[in-house]
Amino acid sequence: MYRKWKDGIISQVDYQNWLVQQRGYKNWNEYCKLQGKNIRPMITNNKVSKTSPDYLGITVSERVLSKVFKNVQRMPTCNRNYDFICNKGYKVDVKSSCQNNLTNRKDKYWQFKIKYNIIADYFLLLAFDSRINLSPQHVWLIQGNSNIGVNKVSILNKKNQIVICNTKRSLMHYKKYELKDKLRKVITCCNILKKR
DSSP sequence for 8-48:
TSS-HHHHHHHHHHTTT-SSHHHHHHHTT----S-EETTEE
pLDDT on residue 39: 45
Residue 121 lies in a domain: yes
Domain identity same for 6 and 100: no
Domain identity same for 71 and 124: yes
Domain identity same for 13 and 89: no
pLDDT on residue 140: 93
Print the domain residue range for 146.
49-195
3-state secondary structure of 101: strand
Residue 107 lies in a domain: yes
Domain identity same for 140 and 75: yes
Q: Which of 185, 182, 109 is nearest to 140 (CA)?
A: 182
Residue 34 lies in a domain: yes
Domain identity same for 5 and 68: no
Residue 44 lies in a domain: no
pLDDT along the chain (196 residues), means of 10: 72 76 78 58 48 61 70 78 86 88 71 92 90 85 92 89 92 93 79 65
Give the count of domains, the chain.
2
Domain identity same for 23 and 85: no
Domain identity same for 14 and 63: no
Q: Which of 74, 79, 10, 1 is nearest to 46 (CA)?
A: 10
* Distance separating alpha carbons of residues 108 and 129, to the nearest angstrom: 10
- The CATH number of whichever domain residue 69 belongs to comes to 3.40.1350
Residue 130 lies in a domain: yes
Domain identity same for 115 and 189: yes
3-state secondary structure of 191: helix
Residue 65 β-bridge partners: none
pLDDT on residue 53: 54
Helix-strand-coil percent breakdown of the chain, rounded to 5?
Answer: 35, 25, 40
pLDDT on residue 60: 66
- Decide: residue 189, CB within 10 A, 0-12 exposed, 13-18 middle, 19+ buried: middle
Residue 64 lies in a domain: yes
> By the 8 A CB rule, do 49 and 37 touch?
no
Domain identity same for 59 and 154: yes
pLDDT on residue 118: 92
Distance (Å) of CA 137 to CA 47, 124, 182 = 25, 13, 11
Domain identity same for 32 and 95: no
Domain identity same for 55 and 144: yes
Domain identity same for 61 and 9: no
